[in-house]
Amino acid sequence: MMAGDIETAHAVPSDFDQMRIVWKYEILKYMRSKRLVATLAIVGVILALIYLLPPVLGEDYNGTDSDVELAILPAEFSGIESSDLGSALYVGIIERDTIEPDTLELSRDGLPYPSQNGANWVYRSVDIDGYSSNVVLIKEDVSGYEIAATYDWHVSAESFESNFISLVTILIVICAVGFAADSLVGEFQARTGYLIFPNAIKRETLFLGKFMASISMGIVVVLIFYAVVAVLSLISARGIDDDFALSLAFAVEYVLATMGIAYFISAIMKGTTGAIVLTFFLLFMILPIVDSVSMISGTRMEASVTFAAGTIAYILHDPYPVDEMMDIGMMEINNYYPTPAIAAIVLLAYALITCVLSAVIFKRKQLAG
């Protein structure tokens, strides 16, 4: 074998290859430590509780309403745009988010009241004060009559998915604690840095490999969570909300932001316990409490990462909630909601800034003792 062949055979892998190797073994480390299994077990418990608890308490996801008396309003007082009313004289309000139109039957004073191909009444889904409502547009004078309806119904995808997505921020914090909080500080506390740092690998490469592994674990958990929610929504709500994918995109951004924050804390702390505890309390309690104080102070916390994370759940609401102020006597309470565009920028900024700061600190940090 020639000398050149020997040099080629023992050439140091490129930075990218080294980063990929670090990423691979960090993934294996998480799997051997059963952190991924434990996190997925938490996901399973959360999904099972949220899905099974409502039926146990008597709140089914679908069913049939029989002979339900409708609230009948004169068309001009219904709040429906005249263009949607057509020739209707009265409007019957159906108190369900989503019904099966083909199953809708009406009765008038206990006797069948057929639609007659729309001559007597028609079903419509219309906007009333900005909210989608199910109504029956009645074209005859039914004053003095009792109008009842029978129909099959199911929960809306929006309300069904909101029950689950409202807890995804907690799940992401758990991922940040489990997959990132001790990633850097552990190399110094456990003295494994004495074995790793002298090798022909840049600390920046080592950092990126670790960071990508943590992000991968977090995104995998979130994707599994959203995939299961989507399947359950198809089964119970007959569909998936139009903004479901957008909620997932914000959730992935929050994963990046929380992982960056956890790595920053891991870079500046001296012990794994302190890093884990600080990461958990900062994201789960301290910052949310600061966000809550803004309700009284009247200050929007646009720069707060946890405030911006509220978009993950709010984006499913149609229409998107707007800021409101409530006067409760001695004080005013302000309910603020993050602006989606600003929230996306804030989450990305946290991810980038904390990642860069963590990498710089990790590169310069020295082993002690």
What are the CA-CA distances from residue 249 to residues 44, 51, 226 (Å)? 21, 23, 11
pLDDT digits (tens, 9 = 90+) for 82-120: 888 888 999 999 988 889 999 999 999 999 999 988 889
Determine the pLDDT at residue 191. Answer: 52
For residue 359, give the amino acid letter: A
Q: Answer whether 350's CB lies under 8 Å from 305's CB.
A: yes
Determine the pLDDT at residue 293. Answer: 86
Determine the pLDDT at residue 17. Answer: 83
CA 173 to chain centre: 12
Determine the pLDDT at residue 53. Answer: 92
Q: Which residues lie across from 150 on neighbouring strands?
A: 105
Does the pTM surpass 0.95? The reply is: no
Q: Which residues lie across from 131 on neighbouring strands?
A: 128
Q: Answer whether 152's CB lies under 8 Å from 68's CB.
A: no
| Crossing angle of helices 203-236 and 168-179, rounded to 10° | 150
Determine the pLDDT at residue 368. Answer: 56
Q: Answer whether 169's CB lies under 8 Å from 315's CB.
A: no
d(C-alpha 159, C-alpha 168), whole Å: 15
Written as tens digits, the pLDDT of the chain (369 aa) is 455 555 555 566 787 888 888 899 889 888 888 888 899 999 999 999 999 999 999 889 999 999 999 989 898 888 888 888 888 999 999 988 889 999 999 999 999 999 988 889 999 888 877 678 889 999 999 988 999 999 999 999 999 999 999 999 999 999 999 999 888 887 766 555 434 544 556 778 888 989 999 999 999 999 999 999 999 999 999 999 999 999 999 999 999 999 999 999 999 988 889 999 999 999 999 999 998 888 787 788 889 999 999 999 999 998 899 888 877 767 778 889 999 999 999 999 999 999 999 999 988 866 554
d(C-alpha 37, C-alpha 175), whole Å: 12
Phi-psi region for residue 116, left (φ > 0), alpha (ψ -120 to 50) or beta?
left
Q: Answer whether 260's CB lies under 8 Å from 354's CB.
A: yes
SS3 string, 200-216, reads CCCHHHHHHHHHHHHHH
SS3 string, the chain, reads CCHHHHHHHCCCCCHHHHHHHHHHHHHHHHHHCCHHHHHHHHHHHHHHHHHHHHHHCCCCCEEEEEEEECEEEEHHHCCCCHHHHCCCCEEEEECCCEECHHHCEEEECCEECCCCCCCCEEEEEEEECCEEEEEEEECCCCCCCCEEEEEEEECCHHHHHHHHHCCHHHHHHHHHHHHCCCCCHHHHHCCCHHHHCCCCCCHHHHHHHHHHHHHHHHHHHHHHHHHHHHHHHHHHCCCCCCCHHHHHHHHHHHHHHHHHHHHHHHHHCCCHHHHHHHHHHHHHHHHHHHHHHHHHHCCCCCCCHHHHHCHHHHCCCCCCCCCEEEECCCCEEEECCCCHHHHHHHHHHHHHHHHHHHHHHHHHCCCCC
Determine the pLDDT at residue 70. Answer: 92
Determine the pLDDT at residue 76. Answer: 86
Q: Answer whether 314's CB lies under 8 Å from 211's CB.
A: no
Which residue has tokens 């009284």?
Answer: 296
